[in-house]
Structure 1
Amino acid sequence: MKKRKLTPKQQLFADEYIKSGNAKESAIKAGYSPKTAYSIGNENLKKPELKSYIDAKLAEIESHKIADAKEILEYFTAVLRGETREVVVVATPAGAEEVERAPDEKTKLTAAKELLKRFPMSDEIAKEQLRKIKAEADLAEAKAKLADYEVKIRQEEFSDNEDENRTDDLTGAVQQGMEGIFDNAEIET
């Protein structure tokens, strides 16, 4: 099968996409209509000849120009430790002034979270968060069942006053069934 050559428009689109990573903007810069740029951009990215051209061009880019994992981890660590400086604009009586300062706590926290995502410990955190969410869902489901049982009990109490023993038995069964899921204070009788 013969490899199709890119049209000048397609090649310009691919070159712009490599620079920006934005398919719509790349399509507009390549000369496609702004009205159809979004769909044409996405369509172009699915074409095998365009995809292979983009992949080949990206492979040509020197690897030292792209941060590797070690460099990224070192940067996050430097931010977390307050070793980097950021420039902020501060209002002064004389006007706006640029000031260099260490990263604030929010920035350090973000760096710490990014670092944690890359270590095996984050799997444990994710498992615990998932376990917590599941437990909360189970608890909500159990509370809903308990509420349904309570409604049934109340309905039986109002419809059949003679059978108090049966109601007490049902209430006891509900409490026993919910044991271990709720604190005793949460179970109303």
Structure 2
Amino acid sequence: MTMKLTPKQERFCLEYVKTGNASEAYRCAYDADRMKPEAVHVAACRLLEKAKVALRIDELRQAIEEEAIADAKARQRWWTQIMYDETAELKDRLKASELLAKAQGDFIERREVSGQGGGPVILKIGDKDIDPEALGW
């Protein structure tokens, strides 16, 4: 972000993302002990309307969402930890090694499909029967 926030605005954004309550976030970031609840609410709403504050809140929310979703490397790292964990049950270690192998493409599942009576598969498109072998499939 190119616009700088004051330390209090940054704290407000962090608290708002954490609690979801603008008034509570305002009380944490600013000296609001002597303010009436209505005044705190108005001040918090005004802060939320500032473009740079709203952009920072969006940034923080996106970062939280990205951290919450494990990517492929994180999953593989976790499965590897379980696979080597000697305190884990053997079935869990085996499942972790299987999932890790599948994720890395070590297993290729192949299935053979045939048509009626073991013959070729006939595709039906509309009212026409099409032999995939005639198409080079």
Shared fold (TM-score, shorter chain, > 0.5):
no
Larger Rg: 1
Higher helix share: 1
* TM-score of the two chains, using structure 2 as the length reference: 0.42
* TM-score of the two chains, using structure 1 as the length reference: 0.31
